[in-house]
Structures are given as structure tokens and as C-alpha cells.
Amino acid sequence: MIPVLRFTTYYKSVIWGGERIARYKGLPSLGSDIGESWELSPMPGHESVVAEGPFKGETLNALVARFPEEILGKRVNDKWHGKFPLLVKFIDSNDDLSIQVHPDDRLAKKRHDSLGKTEMWYSLDPQPGAYLYAGFNKKMDPATFRRMIEENTIVDALGKFDVEKGDLFYLPAGSVHAIGRGNLVVEIQEASDITYRIYDYDRRDSEGNPRELHVDQSIDAVNYDDIAGDKKNIKADKGEEKTLVDCEYFKTAVRDINQKAHIDLSSLDSFSIIIGIGGSLTLTSHDGKITPLPQGQTLLIPACIPSVEIGGNGQILTVHL
């Protein structure tokens, strides 16, 4: 039986990053430019590594290769051909991120031999005035899209949303989007790092060079019918669970934990991911092993574990396929 797995975190320094991820996790400062923490990643070069227990030091990919059905589940293993299909991150935007789009599976496979990137954001702790861009705010076509990029006016064509805690944004591949300054979100996405950067406010890197844009690649990746984006505010309370996203790539819910909750996983035939987003909780697997689940912690529950119990008071996100 593969136990509940906790992994070391990869912290990514970027020009738009800040210090809030460390504070959210209750850690000492990690620096002033940490924009992302990769919580669960199969990406080459940044694979998650088991942090403790009998498999300490093994990468996620190596473990999945050894125990594909035990970790992924037979259904998921068959569909994704033995590959872990998701990437989970926390993102802190101390400044605006670039305007970008991700290709769908078909285009990503053709160009990059990669998965595409459908994703979601769930807002954890936005600062006053925080905003996000998602979709267009008016009818768009490729020629107008290119012209507005060249004129540095593409931001004017995007749906702009003020953000509150508990806001959900679902971003299918092809949706033009950007995280604006002042946000702390958890991002759940297909396991892909293919991003077409469309506009970056003429910012320069640490050596004074403009960051690379991918305008030509983006033209046929964009969904020009994506008007106004998809924002919902979904919060759970008093022991509730509420579905956030149910799509072919992931199923995500937010759950309020009030003292104790039993979670039956036996019928999923899928791994589960549990992310602590508030309070101080503990997870007990069916064999009695207890794993702390503080705010900012991410755990992988292998498909072979039939149930877990979560105690304490707080909130979690749950993810499975």
C-alpha cells in the first residue's frame, strides 16, 4: 500500500513575485520575488520529490512508473498512459503577470509534443484592488487581435474582474488571461508549461532585455468567442462541500471541515489531491497514519487508499480525475 504522499516544494523567483506565499504557509521569508510554489509537479527539471516516509527522495514520475495503478488508478492510468496529468501551484502576483494564452491538447501535441493547458484559479487572499483578466470584453477576430497587440492596446479588449476571496476562474485552453497585481491564488492545471506570452507591458528582465513574446504562435491558439470570462464566487461553510470545476481534466471542490469529516475515495479509481487553504487540520488514512495538513500544505492520496478522515477546523480543496 502506497501511503499518503507529501512532496518538497519548488519555489520560483520571477520579476512579478513577492513574499506572500511564505507568509501564507507560515514559513520564514523565502525572498522578495517568489511568484510561484510548485506543490505537485511531474514537469521535467522540476519534478516533485517525496519529502518523507518510505519513498523519501523519489520523484513523482519515478514513483508513478513503479506503481502506476496504485497511485493513478486503473482508469486514470489507462487514459493518461502512465503519466501524472496535473500540476498544482500557489501564485503570488506582487505585480501584473503577462497577458497570455495556452494551446489546447491538439495544437500543443502538434507543436510541442505536450499536453495543452486548461486551468483554474481559486482566490485565497486578494489584496484591496486586486484584479484578473479573463476572456474578451467584446467581439474579437485574429486581425483585430494582432493589431491591438501591435498598438499596445490589447488590455483594453480583455474582461477585467475585481477579485474577492473565494472567486473561481475556469480557463479552458484558448482563453486569453492574466493575473493582475495583488492576488494570491491556487492554480490547478494540466501538466503543461506551454505558455504564449502576448503582451508584457514592455517590461525588462534583470539584464535589461525585453521578455520574449509569442504573438505569431498565439494567433491560432486563441478562442476568439471567449467573451467575458467565467467568474464565480464559491465558498463552503458549516461542513459543506461545493463543486468548483467538473471538466475532463480535473474535478475540484472546496470543502469546509468542522471538527471531523470522512472522505470516501473508494469509487473514484483516481488519485486525489488535498490542499489545505485555511485553519489547521490533520489527515488520518484508513490505516491510522496521521499527517498534518496546515494552511498551504498539499498532499497526494494514491488511488489505492479507499478513504481518509480529516479532523480540525478549516478548509480544503480536493482534486481528482
What cell numbers appear for 162 in the block?
475585481
Identify the active-site residue in 197, 204, 211, 255.
Answer: 197
| Rg of the chain on CA atoms, in Å | 20
C-alpha cell at 188: 490547478
Is 197 catalytic? The answer is: yes
- Tell me the catalytic residues: 197
